[in-house]
Amino acid sequence: MRSFLAAALTALALGGGVWALLERPASEPSAGSSPARAEPALERAAREALQQEGRQAPESRAQTLPALSAQALGRVVDARSGAPLPGARVALRRPGGELLLGLRCDEAGAFPLTGLPAGELELVALARGHLVPAPRALGPAERAGLTLALDPGHELRARIGCGDGAALPREARVWVEAGPGYLAGDDPEAPDAEGRLTLGGLPEGPCALRVEAPGYAPLRVGFAAPPAHEVELVLERLALRGEVHGELAEDLVVEAVAWESEARARGAVEAGRFALALPHPGSWLVRARQAGAASPWRRVEVPGDEPVLELETTSELRGRVLDPAGEPLAADLRIRDLAGQERRLRSGADGRFRLEATRGEELTLSAHAAGLAPGVQRARVCCADEEVLLELEALVPVALAPFRDREGRPLQGRLVLDPGAHDPHEHRGERLSFEVELDAEGLPRLEGLPAGTWTISLVEEARDELRAWALEVDTGASESPPRIGLSQDAPRGKLGGRVLGRLPGGLVQVELRPAEPATEAFGFLAARAVDEEGGFAFPAVPPGRYSVRALGETRASELGEVEVQPGREAWIELRLD
């Protein structure tokens, strides 16, 4: 199944659908993901400091920081014990948040104060197990030496066990949810071999622990304040429970397939009930099956749902395959069920085929023959008298060119081809999305395109940003074959900006797309979340004119336009009212 990232980026289609990315329902966190939490500005500065450690801002890049034997030193200590905090991080920034430098303290908790940039500065010191402090101004007196004392806050001790008496899996992980001032790490916490965990640096007020371990149901326990005593957390086995109705046989089994992973499970049924052990929570497809009967696949959420599966007698699905002239055609058939399981067969010389299927089952059938566009239909198995018709169409020639990266090297990956949102052409059958690989030279493995309009997209990997290239193709719009290729040799620019107005709670994102529809060449599309102050930055934007808008969960800004030039930074402000 296609990932949310790929689906979201290819949804940035032209012809009115370009903003579809943010109009999709928010996806649920996958198994193993940390809870969503807005990162306060100070914590964000700390994280940037860890990334910037030892690197100076452009204005001070020529300076050299002195050795720690110099007299002007700062120190970071524990406010309660006075002990130094080795390895503590210090973020040096301008008032207002512009990060200049990140430093790490030595074994004595010391860091240099000599050779720092001139002007007004402030420091933020951070150490795991301690609260995030308010910024400390660095005036003339402080440049001669200062001590930053970090509050260790509250401590929480927990012991995690398994309700079935088994040892806690080594992959068990704990996420901490706490109020402002808590410095969360990049990774979740790991209990020791006995399941014990000690957490420091918790602020006063509500907090919670969320525990996940393979094979066990996720557990979240909240507290009004960090408890002073050790807390016991008990995990219970994760199971999908339900019932099977119908004439049950001895060979009856229940099967489950994960919706967003390759995980599968299978178990027996006793007295019409089942409890199927699953490796992780989330969306699953489940069915019951025995000789001569089965239930249709059903999507459920685990934990939560307890489905009732109705056995249906196995039926037969019949159909025919026709060529573009309406003549019978022997073709290869692929039949895919809702769980993604695929069967293959071939139609006869008379174009006819038949297959065993479960009544009520939803199937996607596609017929394939060399030099022709596939014939595709979705079908629900109802009765043996109904017939599915698969009609193949001629392929429209295309002009292929290599896909190359910014250094001119052939790109490796896949193109996603989605039916156009507005297609004026008539089609014999249903059109579905499909993917095409790029070969070693960066050329798409594509014989031609089925007739109609198509949105062709390519995901570009980027950190903290959805980024893609997209092209809208209408095979009937021109006498010359559509050209499909991409060269990224143009130098890129930057786009920064800010979303003004009262920002709503939850996610606010900014999207950009070409100001004019990209029907002749691939256009660049991107989206990213704004920070706490509404700021955003797209660091690598190809030159051109773009439409930009901000979108919250319930409202959007007006469309803005901006010109991005090679090697320069453009700026735009959007108002979210």
CATH label of the domain that carries residue 346:
2.60.40.1120
Domain containing 197: what range?
156-235
Q: Are 314 and 331 in contact (CB under 8 A)?
A: no
User: Which tokens sit at 200?
Assistant: 């420091």
**Confidence at residue 358, expressed as pLDDT on a 0 to 100 scale:** 87
E strands along 127-168, which residues?
136-138, 146-150, 154-162
- φ and ψ of 176, to 5 deg: -110, 130
Let me know whether 382 and 404 are in one domain.
no
In DSSP notation, 213-231 reads: -TTB--EEEEESS--SSPE
* pTM exceeding the 0.95 threshold for the entire prediction: no
Residue 30 lies in a domain: no
**Confidence at residue 483, expressed as pLDDT on a 0 to 100 scale:** 92
Give the residues of the chain that fall short of pLDDT 70: 1-71, 96-98, 186, 383-385, 504-506
User: Which tokens sit at 565?
Assistant: 């030039």
Q: How far apart are CA 524 and CA 542, in angstroms?
A: 7
With H, G, I as helix, E, B as strand and everything else as coil, classify residue 23: helix
Handedness of CA 433, 399, 421, 331 (dihedral sign): negative
Residues shown for the chain: 577
Residue 240 lies in a domain: no
User: Which tokens sit at 245?
Assistant: 């109705």
Handedness of CA 130, 133, 137, 142 (dihedral sign): negative
**Confidence at residue 78, expressed as pLDDT on a 0 to 100 scale:** 96
Let me know whether 350 and 402 are in one domain.
no
Amino acid at 441: E
Q: How far apart are CA 307 and CA 310, in angstroms?
A: 10
- Which CATH number does the domain housing residue 93 bear? 2.60.40.10
Let me know whether 406 and 536 are in one domain.
yes
State the total domains in the chain.
Answer: 5
Let me know whether 402 and 531 are in one domain.
yes
3-state helix, strand, coil in the chain (%, to 5): 5, 45, 50
| Spatial CA neighbour of 37 closest among 159, 221, 182, 219 | 182
Let me know whether 91 and 139 are in one domain.
yes
| Domain end marker among 200, 235, 270 | 235
Residue 141 lies in a domain: yes
**Confidence at residue 214, expressed as pLDDT on a 0 to 100 scale:** 92
Residue 431 lies in a domain: yes
Q: Are 346 and 332 in contact (CB under 8 A)?
A: yes
CA 86 → CA 107, 114, 133, 458, distances in Å? Answer: 4, 20, 17, 46
Let me know whether 64 and 117 are in one domain.
yes
Provide the 10 A C-beta neighbour count for residue 560: 17
**Confidence at residue 96, expressed as pLDDT on a 0 to 100 scale:** 67
- φ and ψ of 76, to 5 deg: -115, 125
Let me know whether 127 and 51 are in one domain.
yes
**Confidence at residue 505, expressed as pLDDT on a 0 to 100 scale:** 65
Enclosing H/E stretch for 545: strand 544-551
Handedness of CA 14, 15, 19, 20 (dihedral sign): negative
**Confidence at residue 434, expressed as pLDDT on a 0 to 100 scale:** 86
Provide the 10 A C-beta neighbour count for residue 180: 12
Q: Are 365 and 333 in contact (CB under 8 A)?
A: yes
Amino acid at 380: R
- Say if residue 552 is exposed, middle or buried (CB neighbours under 10 Å; 0-12, 13-18, 19+): buried
Residue 31 lies in a domain: no
| Domain end marker among 150, 178, 208 | 150
User: Which tokens sit at 524?
Assistant: 């660049």
Let me know whether 351 and 482 are in one domain.
no
347-375 residues labelled b (16+ CB within 10 A) or e (exposed): beeebebebebbbebebbbbbbbeebbbb
- Say if residue 21 is exposed, middle or buried (CB neighbours under 10 Å; 0-12, 13-18, 19+): buried
**Confidence at residue 71, expressed as pLDDT on a 0 to 100 scale:** 53
Let me know whether 383 and 262 are in one domain.
no
CA 503 → CA 27, 45, 453, 509, distances in Å? Answer: 21, 20, 38, 11
Provide the 10 A C-beta neighbour count for residue 309: 23
Q: How far apart are CA 300 and CA 255, in angstroms?
A: 13
Q: Are 304 and 297 in contact (CB under 8 A)?
A: no
Let me know whether 329 and 303 are in one domain.
no
- C-alpha dihedral, 513 to 517 to 520 to 521, nearest 10°: 0
**Lateral strand order in the sheet of 393-396:** 372-373, 393-396, 449-450
**Confidence at residue 467, expressed as pLDDT on a 0 to 100 scale:** 92
Residue 258 lies in a domain: yes
**Lateral strand order in the sheet of 523-529:** 434-437, 414-419, 453-459, 466-474, 523-529, 509-514, 544-551, 560-564
| Spatial CA neighbour of 184 closest among 210, 161, 160, 159 | 210
Let me know whether 492 and 406 are in one domain.
yes
**Confidence at residue 347, expressed as pLDDT on a 0 to 100 scale:** 96
Residue 34 lies in a domain: no
Let me know whether 136 and 216 are in one domain.
no
| Spatial CA neighbour of 86 closest among 125, 123, 113 | 125
| Domain end marker among 256, 281, 310 | 310
Q: How far apart are CA 343 and CA 470, in angstroms?
A: 32
Residue 420 lies in a domain: yes
**Confidence at residue 56, expressed as pLDDT on a 0 to 100 scale:** 37
**Confidence at residue 55, expressed as pLDDT on a 0 to 100 scale:** 39
* Cα radius of gyration rounded to whole Å, the chain: 30
**Confidence at residue 144, expressed as pLDDT on a 0 to 100 scale:** 84
Q: How far apart are CA 374 and CA 370, in angstroms?
A: 9
